[in-house]
Amino acid sequence: MRRSAFLIGGLILLCLTFTLYKLYYISPVAEVKPEIENHLDTQFSDQFDITKIEKDYSLDLFHEPVGYKMWLRDKSGFEFGPIFMQFNEVQSHWIPYKGTDIEKDYQKSKYNK
């Protein structure tokens, strides 16, 4: 009886640890920066470079990481941001979130310069 309770407790602890890991783990910035740059290069024909990138966290109670916040620079040196990107595992590519539209944000920032 005692042994089965110990096993069940261990399984519950293992499941809880795995759940927390999946909830709070996000790849390090140094690992994803080249992937995002590659995505931006293919999407925008080498128009933008990432000048600063950091993890972006949810504003809710649990404050889990949800993506990356970055600032971009065009080839003329104009810098704008923040731009929010996250990896969509279903579509297997990087997508903007939080209402980010890179081209519109770029044009709006250039206009308001």
Q: Is residue 5 part of a domain?
A: no
- Decide if 9 is inside a domain: no
Average pLDDT over residues 98-112: 88
What are the E-state strand segments in the chain?
Answer: 48-57, 65-74, 79-88, 93-96
When computed from its CA atoms, the radius of gyration of the chain, rounded to whole angstroms, is: 19
- Structural tokens at position 3: 């042994």
Query: What does pTM read for this prediction?
Result: 0.80
The predicted pLDDT at position 1 comes to 64
For residue 88, how many other CB atoms are within 10 A of its CB? 12
Q: Is residue 1 situated within a structural domain?
A: no
Residue 16 included in any domain: no
What total number of domains does the chain contain? Answer: 1
pLDDT at 84: 96
pLDDT (0 to 100) of residue 8: 81
Residue 21, pLDDT score: 66
Average pLDDT rounded to a whole number, residues 90-97:
91
pLDDT at res. 79: 94
pLDDT of residue 86: 94
pLDDT in tens, 64-90: 889 999 999 999 999 999 999 999 989
Structural domain harbouring 71: 28-111
pLDDT tens sequence across 6-56? 788 778 887 777 777 666 678 889 999 999 999 999 999 889 999 999 999
2 domain-assigned: no
Which contacts qualify for 38-42: CB closer than 8 Å, 24 or more apart?
39/85, 39/93, 39/94, 40/72, 40/102
**Which pLDDT value is given to residue 26?**
83
Q: Is residue 3 part of a domain?
A: no
